Chains A and B, each alone.
Chain A
Amino acid sequence: MNRNQYIVLGTLAFLGVYSGLKLVRPTESGVVDLQLAPNSVPVAEQLVGGANDPTFNRVEGGTPTQAVDLTEVAKDSQELGPLAQFSGVLTQGGLWHTVDLSQWQQVQGLARSLEFSLDSVGGIDASDAEQLVELLDRSDSLKVKQTLLVALGVLRAGNPLDLEMYLDEPATAAAAAYALGRRGLPEAEFALNERLLYADRFGRDLTNLDLGLASRGFDRFGDLLQLTRQRLAIDWTGSEVTPLELIRDPRARAALQDLVLSSEPEALRLRALRGWANTFEMARAEDRHGVDTGWVADLALSTDSSSDVRAEALDVLGRCAPEDCQRVLERSLKDGAPEEVVLQVLGKMLQLPREEASLTFLDPLLDSGTPDLRREALRLLAHTGREEAMDMLATQFETLDAEETDEVLAWLQSRAQLTAELEYLPSSNGVPDFAVTDSLAASLEASLAGGQLTEEQELAAMQALLHGPRPELALEGIEEAIAGLDFSDPLAVQRLAQITPGLGRPGEQLVMRAYSESTEFVSRLELLQMLEARSASNPEIERFFEQTVMEDLRGELLDQASAPLAFFRRGAQATNLFGSSVVNLFVRYGTEQDLELLGRLPQAFDSQAERWPAALRDSIRASLEECAVRTADLRAMEAIG
């Protein structure tokens, strides 16, 4: 090599080092891990009672809550007919598109919401059953079929002979089983039993069909118990769900309690306890009032019970009577229970209601607990959102180390964002208020003034202060922080996604501006998702969707047909972000030509994904086909009115 070649190589190496130096700085990393808008999924999950899903309860920063009453969501569209209103409710936000209604858990969640509110949503009642069945026959969309089956189940309507064929389709089996179980007619029971026998014989998953049996209610409690015994005899230690724990009829509560406290095998008692929790949750507030939950607390404390039973009892307490967890905690502390037990109890107490007794029982943990216990106690205070908790946090604030400060600020930010987002979802019963008290506000403001916080921490503190005594100052600070963002830079859009939840109208304006300036399709979809939940309360967003967004989508949708790949790794929920935004908008603002456009999406995708692995290509193609037929079916539902 001659000198010049060395110079070139040296310069190239310099380029490499230059790039390398840039890349190792984490804040400017080239690899970007795109996330959904904060809180969008947890908030959405509450709409179908996701709070009951144990996986949701484990979400860091998410506050479990009760299901939201769908009635309120539809209140702005009272002039529409019942089915049109129902369609409006389903396309409000992205949640409905993300739930996988081929699974019994999701069917149960949707059923739970609808059982509480369907009669109020547009006044749908049994007299609409005929139209629902007709729609069911005409629908090409699996999601629409599944939803109609659940609705029919809620109404206890529909001819079993019209419904039983859906038991044979794996995607609709759970919803059909629920519908037939609730129907309760001999033909429905026969169809269910026949399929169960067949599924059992061929070793198929029975739980989707079990949901049907359990939906028959308390009248068939004996059958459910017998079937559960049989299942447990075959698979004693298996994790499969048994019919008894799927029962949701509040009348079964006493019988289940007896079973739990009996001398039955432990596996059966555990299943009965889960069933009891379901029946408790299914009861309306007035039916729950006065129900004794102390026996569950005693079970959690009982040293005679196995650790599995105690853990299950604690889990049930966390779901049904978090206030009783306090007694269990106090007793555990007094008895010197192992740290992991205390941590487990603390973890179940995130739902402590506002009016609950004093939180001073946490003092020993805050003052002299191990780091893990102190951390969990701080988390509980931040999530509880009660005034007393905020004051306690304020007194602890100066003693927090760097890691604790970071965590506490993140928890407060998460809580503040959840509170703000819930303002767009009425009837968010179950989530206590969150207000930063004077003392905590003073601590946060002192931290901000001290200049010790990172940029992220400052933002978190300001978001919490939006719920404090001087929100205008916090808003000013946030506006200053985002004033210089250039939304043609996708990273700025991501930053906005962190900030928007928690802001009111100013946030909406920013999102619309960011949408217009953003250069990436996926980023724009995520921005749309932030706006969707707020569109009902802001006509400006409606106009923005109709005029700007729809025109954009018409222009570029075919070119972006392979965009669902961007959401692939997020699993079933997120795969549909593409579909959910598109369907919601096209149902509300689309024309007949737009339906043709959606119909061309699969072909456009085929041409873009020729070399993709066949299984992935087929899966995404199917989701695009579903996107088109779902839009058409929902528009048909709206047309009926």
Chain B
Amino acid sequence: MNTHTRMLAKVIAIGAVGGLASWSESAASGAHRVTSEFLANSVSSGLSLLGMPSYVDGSAIYSLGYSVRVVPECNGFIGTSVALIAIALLRINMGTKLKLGITAFLLSFGLNAGRILTVLMVGTRSQRAADFVHEVAFPVFWFGLAFGLWFYWLKHEFEQDDAERESPGTFTQAVAT
């Protein structure tokens, strides 16, 4: 199995796990609720640090003239789960997995909280602008980030593959390190 096949297998595995997670979404409603409420409270704390008033009611966050509800689709539970499963599948040592797992969790949670916080803060000034940030700016940013990184990664893989062909054994060494 060459590098590209392995990579493709990983991508398919990640997709399959993601699909499975989506399928079991309803079964995870309790986890969703806890995640959403935790996220809402975190965003509220962020607002408070910035001197903005906020009131959290379940998964809804209210600020001056604007409110957001963290619905299951946007609490990041599924995505974070997929990221953690993907890390668990990597052939690396347990310490690194743990480190990566914690980093992934904090990053995804932090980015999502930042996204919601931004939408809320913009919304308190202009609902129209918040709609734009929410429906256009952020999706474009995420799509750009995703495709950019995947593209960068693939490019790197191809370059490494070429280098591997030129000097066999590099890949094994790379994984071992």
Contact = CB atoms under 8 A, between A and B. Distances in A.
B24 to A, nearest CB: 15
Contacts of A289: none
A189 B24 CA distance: 75
Nearest to A23: B74
A521 interface: yes
Contacts of B96: 4
Q: Assign chain A's interface to a size class.
A: 35 or more
Contacts of A21: 139
A34 interface: yes
Contact of A6 (B62, B74, B143, B156): B156
A135 to B, nearest CB: 34
Contact of A519 (B58, B83, B142): B58
Contact of A20 (B48, B104, B142, B160): B142
A6 B76 CA distance: 20
A32 B68 contact: yes
B65 A30 contact: no
B82 A15 contact: yes
Contact of B66 (A29, A490, A569): A569
A10 interface: yes
Interface in A475-510: 488, 490-491
Contact of B60 (A6, A19, A490): A490
Interface in B38-54: 48, 51, 53-54
Nearest to A524: B57
Contacts of B92: 4
Contact of B142 (A3, A19, A30): A19
Contact of B58 (A6, A18, A490): A490
Contacts of B68: 30-32
A613 B64 CA distance: 11
Given A19-B73, A33-B67, A6 B142 contact: no
B103 A8 contact: yes
Interface string B55-95: 10111101111111111011010111011001100101000
Nearest to A5: B100
A16 B119 CA distance: 15
Secondary structure dominating the interface of B = helix
Contacts of B28: none
Contacts of B63: 565
B139 A23 contact: yes
Contacts of A562: 53, 55
Given A2-B174, A31-B119, A522 B53 contact: no
B152 interface: yes
A427 to B, nearest CB: 37
A568 B70 contact: no
A606 to B, nearest CB: 13
| Shortest beta-carbon contacts, A-B, top 7 | A15-B79, A13-B146, A569-B65, A16-B142, A22-B73, A20-B139, A20-B142
Interface of A: 2-24, 26, 28-34, 488, 490-491, 519-523, 560, 562-563, 565-566, 568-569, 609, 611-613, 616-617
27 contacts: A3-B175, A6-B156, A7-B90, A8-B104, A10-B146, A13-B148, A14-B146, A16-B111, A16-B146, A18-B18, A18-B79, A19-B73, A19-B76, A19-B112, A23-B134, A23-B135, A29-B71, A30-B69, A34-B60, A490-B58, A491-B71, A519-B33, A519-B58, A562-B53, A563-B55, A565-B63, A569-B64
